[in-house]
Amino acid sequence: MPLTVTALVVTSGETPYLAATLLAVSRQTLRPKEVFVIDVSRSGVAHRQGTEVLTAPGASNLGAALEIARQSPDFPRLESEAAVWLLHDDSAPAPTCLEEQVKVYSASENTKVVGAKQRVWDKAAQLLEVGIRATGTGRRLQEMDAGEIDQGQYDNRTDVLGVGTAAMLLDWDTYLELEGFNPALGPFGDGLEFSRRVHLAGYRVQVAPKAVVYHKLAGYYGLRGPDGGRPTRASRLAGGAGSTRGSVGAREALRPEPKRSFAARRISQLHNWMVAAPWWQFILLPAVVILLGAIRVLWRIVTKEPKLAGAEIKATLVTVFQPLSVWKARRKRLRHQKVPTRTLKPLQIKGSRIWQAKATQRKIAKDQRKPLIRDHTARINYAAEKNLDLALASSIALVLGGISVLTARFAISGVMGGAIPSLPAAGSTFWHTLVSGWLPSGLGYGSQILAADPLGLLLGILSQATGALGLKAPLVLSVLGFLTLPLAWLTAWWASGALTSSRPLRATVALSWALSPNLLASLGAGQVPVWILAWTIPLFAGSLARACGKDQTRTVLGDGNEPVTITIHSAPIIQTGVAALTGFIAVAANQILIVPLLVLLALGLIKGFAVTAPENEDSHRDASNFDSTGLSRKTRLTIRHALIIVAPSLWLVLPNLIRTLGHPTQWPLWISTLGVPQNGTPPNWWDLLTGWPLAMRTMQLPLHIPAWQWLAILPVTLTLLLVLASIVLPSRQTAPHLAGFVALLGLAIAWLSSVTPVAIAQGTPVTAWAGPGLAVYHASLLVAAVMFLTRFQVENPFEIASWSEKTLHALLAVAVLIPVVGVAPGIASEIVAPTKSSFQQTRAFSEEMLPATIANGQAGTKQWRGLNLSVRPAPNQSTLVDATLWRGWRDTVYEASPWVKMKNYQNVAGTRSPDAADAALARAVAALLGGSTPDLTEQLASLNVNYVVVENTKDGSTTSLINALDSAEGLERVTKTKAGTVWRLADEAVPAGLLRVAEAKWSGGRPNWPTRDARAIALDISPAGRAKLPAGDAGRLLAISERLDPSFTIRVGGKPLEVVENGQWNGLYKLPAGEGELTVSHAYLPHQLWGGVLLGFLFIAFAAALPLRRVSEVSL
């Protein structure tokens, strides 16, 4: 008996594709017995000859539409063994489609579902799908290459895992037996899920390769409105690739965009996974889906797809928190399963196939992003130019690295001296300090947001990471100093490529930056912030220019010696991320740099860059928004990208801003930088104008080189004269003027730094280092000079340049030597006699500078401290003693932070009243200088001072102090090292320790502790803040040798201890009776909230900076 076929076309009103689909159905060589149109909309469809209309208003998917239509009295009475032919409104079958499907269907009694080969709707020869190939988790393989032509390469395919519902021919009895489609699926994944149930019921699912259906994929590409029909204007204008910045007509058009349907497809894939998983996986699958969803959300953000991140969240929540639909689908599957699940395994693919397909797509996309140069000669010349650039950049970087070694800026043991602070060693309490907000300097500081220097914290993170690899912290700074010159050269070379393609001009600019007086002087002085700015400023400037749309261009000779301009378009979002991270690091180095950063962002938003696209330009493949009409256009920074750049830096300086508004005397914190205070003569206006951060008149070289000072100021002076010429000479260019304004801003910062005291060293006020401001000043001068010189066509190839242009080429080639000549005397002197040069204050790291006795005590369970005493002469033939506490290695990033240095300066200058902790330290030092003072040992022990160090000098006052300490009761001399003479507490009955416990005598509700009758005992405490409390009676007190701070919490047995207020400088707590485990923690909530928000901003910037972009949409 011939097969009876009824066609069911599901639509949502009169869509743009319905008429073509019904016309194709009417032209079938084997016509269906009846054709029914099932309309799920409320607007209705037109009645056509040969078709009947059934309504299923409100149906959310194809399965629901069939079930609602079945209830209609007009639904066809299908005979036994009849078949239905399901069609979408956007799937037009070829004339022989049904006939070919019926042939395959009738060839085997066990075949119950037959699909068709799908081709592109408006590109009839291109393949879409020949059956569904998917993993056991429901992930579909996109096996067809983009634009792949149907040449019969898949015509040998028969049995498949599943077929789509577009042009699906299925046995009606089987449909009823299996209870129809899954109501939770549609328009995606329903065909795959139903096909799996057909297989498990013991039937076959096949594809008819010669049956062709042309599918528009309107749902996949997001071309449908909310009801599945014609899209609304709102959806046409909705984000992403669906809108452009072109004409009104372009904005009204709805471009195909698979991302619009991603959430629905991801939900269907996860649902299929939950339904198909075996029971032992299904139990744990919700947790796996949540974990996988979190990972995928992060990945979507990293790959610059925040909208898909939202879709991932939605899909995860819908799948996990709507378990009833999954449970019903699993029950339905089990009711009709007749064969084992393993029978599906030969038809499924492995997950590795998905990864291989994605890797192939990434490789294709990477190849497509390469410059497409149609001119053969230009392509060869362009490759040669790139290789020459690479050779030049690499060779000069190696030379600069050699200079760093020869000038003793690298030592295997590490570097120290000058303004270099010591980094926290690996395994220390650094991470707790970073998170808690506690500043372990002196007697400690808390309840402050970012009191520690942000650059010091970044360097601390770096030292902890390298320490995990076995590298010591001093070596980190040694490597950083060694890499500074090569990195400064390479980053300046890269940044200059956005402004010019002239190789001599780029080399001159990059060498002028890497060999600048500011950088070389800062390297010798140990000013680490300027080391960081040497490569962050060029990276920020270059990435900001590219984020604004200033692409790198190069003109080469093509066929017939015709010039060909090649443009390499950068991804703006990646450059935005780089600018955000480097800008953040620059502001961390010196927070006043937020001002020029904001100015540059404002210029990028308002002015942007003028870009000209020549008519013969060969440009990057993916430069979809580049106008190649030959007309100039403005490219500006977008507001979204500007917010990504500025958010981390603004949030970083927010605590300092609040602190300054509350205490205006704290404003010097903006210009102060990380570094150990060093005495010296501040630079004058001429030094600053010529780019020197120190007083040139006081500098001496071991080699006698006449007029070396004039050579030293030559490079910056010539650059300044060139910039002045660019401003004075008439031109339509405004870039040199704007760069000159930023240069003046940097010069003002440098001047303000050079005249503002921010620290104290040996009783003398120390001004801030002018290097950060000079770095901005010099970089702006170089930008202005380059923009001025580009007016003279210096980028034309030498072969076709005019005589004037060739002359300028020759002058630029000679100009490369100017920065080399300027620094040659200083570098030669440092190579010949590095220890005698006034510019070299750093030296190889020596562990003897911290006696081993003190280092072991600091790392022990008592966490002892050392009190360092330095004697210096004072007016009126008196003697002054500087006292500092060593909590770790001397001169740590905490002691060298601007906040601590400013506090110490204000204490000496009298603009700040010392608190109780400062007074306690002063009393202990006074008692120590007094010799045999009663309770000297107790005073030192209460500060957790177990060691006293007097620095080595040949001064008579130092000798007198050493003799006094030798005779002091309770002290015994231990050793004498390069660091000085060392004593320790000799009275074991009065031990020092971070935590001390003693009985207290109470009088009037106030304790008297400790007393001569009740001595304190010191507890052993781990780096994690845990200690064992010995047994004892109630009324004991616990003292912690840290500055009193309400954010401290001490618990015994999990219960917080009561704080005792006794007017003391440190924390005092009342202990319960008995013994137990004691824990010490510090957490300042505002600091932690601030840090959490900062991490969020940095994550967004980091995600934007990663060179990861999704290359194509993989079908699910």
Calpha distance 909→891 (Å, rounded): 21
Q: What is the phi/psi pair of residue 141, to 5°?
A: -95, 125
Calpha distance 415→525 (Å, rounded): 12
- Nearest C-alpha neighbor of 452 from the set 431, 466, 469: 431
CB 237 within 8 A of CB 251: yes
DSSP symbol at 165: S
Band (pLDDT 50/70/90 cuts) for residue 631 is very low
Give me the pLDDT at residue 235, please.
Answer: 42
* Residue 697, CA distances (Å) to 6, 584, 836 in order: 100, 35, 17
Calpha distance 874→73 (Å, rounded): 110
Return the percentage of the chain with pLDDT > 70, whole number: 91
Out of 147-161, 284-298, 404-418, pick the least confident. Answer: 404-418
- Nearest C-alpha neighbor of 455 from the set 590, 644, 582, 579: 590
User: 193 pLDDT exceeds 90?
Assistant: yes
User: 616 pLDDT exceeds 50?
Assistant: no
Out of 115-119, 195-199, 878-882, pick the least confident. Answer: 878-882
Per DSSP, the three-state class of 168 is strand
Q: What is the phi/psi pair of residue 823, to 5°?
A: -100, -5
Give me the pLDDT at residue 248, please.
Answer: 36
Band (pLDDT 50/70/90 cuts) for residue 877 is low
Give me the pLDDT at residue 484, please.
Answer: 94
pLDDT in tens, 928-963: 887 656 678 888 998 999 999 998 887 778 888 888
Calpha distance 1071→1036 (Å, rounded): 5
Give me the pLDDT at residue 251, please.
Answer: 39
Q: What is the phi/psi pair of residue 29, to 5°?
A: -70, -30
- Amino acid in the structure at residue 988: E
Which residue bears the tokens 């995860």?
316
CB 192 within 8 A of CB 133: no
| The most confident of 343-352, 775-784, 924-933, by mean pLDDT | 775-784
Per DSSP, the three-state class of 830 is helix
- Amino acid in the structure at residue 862: K
Calpha distance 32→24 (Å, rounded): 12
Per DSSP, the three-state class of 526 is coil
Q: Give the pLDDT mean for 147-174.
A: 92
Give me the pLDDT at residue 1010, please.
Answer: 64
More confident residue, 709 or 192: 192
Q: Residue 954: CA atoms inside 13 Å, Cβ hemisphere, count?
A: 0
User: 569 pLDDT exceeds 90?
Assistant: no
Number of other CB atoms surrounding residue 1070 within 10 Å: 15
Calpha distance 186→165 (Å, rounded): 10
Q: Residue 164: CA atoms inside 13 Å, Cβ hemisphere, count?
A: 24
- Nearest C-alpha neighbor of 384 from the set 396, 392, 395, 374: 392
CB 119 within 8 A of CB 170: no
User: 519 pLDDT exceeds 90?
Assistant: yes
Three-class secondary structure assignment of 725-779: HHHHCCCCCCHHHHHHHHHHHHHHHHHHHHHCEEEEECCEEEECCCHHHHHHHHH
As a whole number, the mean pLDDT across the chain is 86
User: 118 pLDDT exceeds 80?
Assistant: yes
pLDDT in tens, 1038-1047: 999 999 999 9
One-character DSSP codes across 250-307: HHHS----GGGGHHHHHHHHHHHHHHHS-HHHHTTHHHHHHHHHHHHHHHHHHTT-HH
CB 134 within 8 A of CB 317: no
User: 613 pLDDT exceeds 50?
Assistant: no
Give me the pLDDT at residue 630, please.
Answer: 38
- 960: which 2 tokens? 């007198």
Band (pLDDT 50/70/90 cuts) for residue 171 is very high
pLDDT in tens, 78-107: 888 899 999 999 999 999 999 999 999 999
- Amino acid in the structure at residue 494: W
Q: Give the pLDDT mean for 892-900.
A: 91
User: 245 pLDDT exceeds 60?
Assistant: no
Out of 15-29, 346-360, 484-498, pick the least confident. Answer: 346-360
Give me the pLDDT at residue 625, please.
Answer: 32
Calpha distance 548→647 (Å, rounded): 17
Calpha distance 1001→1010 (Å, rounded): 8
User: 624 pLDDT exceeds 70?
Assistant: no
User: 234 pLDDT exceeds 90?
Assistant: no
Give me the pLDDT at residue 371, please.
Answer: 66
Q: Give the pLDDT mean for 1077-1081.
A: 92
Helix pair 771-789, 528-547: axis angle to 10 deg: 40
Calpha distance 746→726 (Å, rounded): 19
Band (pLDDT 50/70/90 cuts) for residue 973 is very high
Q: Give the pLDDT mean for 453-470.
A: 88
Out of 724-738, 873-887, 986-1000, pick the least confident. Answer: 873-887
- 691: which 2 tokens? 């780019």
Band (pLDDT 50/70/90 cuts) for residue 244 is very low
Calpha distance 296→1005 (Å, rounded): 60
Q: What is the phi/psi pair of residue 345, to 5°?
A: -60, -40
Number of other CB atoms surrounding residue 540 within 10 Å: 29
User: 892 pLDDT exceeds 60?
Assistant: yes
Give me the pLDDT at residue 416, please.
Answer: 84
What sign has the CA pseudo-torsion 221, 227, 228, 233? Answer: negative
Q: Give the pLDDT mean for 543-563.
A: 85
Q: What is the phi/psi pair of residue 474, to 5°?
A: -60, -30
Three-class secondary structure assignment of 628-693: CCCCEEEECCCHHHHHHHHHHHHHHHHHHHHHHHHCHHHHHHHCCCCCCCCCCCCCCHHHHHCCCC
Cis preceding-peptide flag for 187 (omega within 30 of 0): yes
Calpha distance 1053→232 (Å, rounded): 64
Give me the pLDDT at residue 381, please.
Answer: 87
Three-class secondary structure assignment of 885-918: EECCCCCECCCCCHHHHHHHHHHHHCCCCCCHHH
Give me the pLDDT at residue 554, please.
Answer: 83
Which residue bears the tokens 């001093």?
474
More confident residue, 667 or 415: 667
- 53: which 2 tokens? 């209309």
| The most confident of 129-133, 997-1001, 1032-1036, by mean pLDDT | 129-133
Calpha distance 807→92 (Å, rounded): 69
Give me the pLDDT at residue 233, please.
Answer: 40
Out of 172-186, 579-593, 675-689, 930-944, pick the least confident. Answer: 930-944
With residue 589 as reference, give the H or E element that holds it. helix 572-589
Give me the pLDDT at residue 610, please.
Answer: 61
Cα-Cα-Cα-Cα torsion 6, 8, 14, 16, nearest 10 degrees, comes to -90
Calpha distance 87→25 (Å, rounded): 9
Q: Give the pLDDT mean for 678-682.
A: 88
Band (pLDDT 50/70/90 cuts) for residue 1111 is very low
Cis preceding-peptide flag for 875 (omega within 30 of 0): no
Band (pLDDT 50/70/90 cuts) for residue 352 is confident
What radius of gyration, in Å, describes the C-alpha atoms of the chain? 38
- Amino acid in the structure at residue 260: R
Helices H, strands E: what count in the chain? 35, 34
More confident residue, 1001 or 639: 639
- Nearest C-alpha neighbor of 1083 from the set 1112, 1115, 1049: 1049
Which residue bears the tokens 């789509």?
164
Q: What is the pTM of this model?
A: 0.86
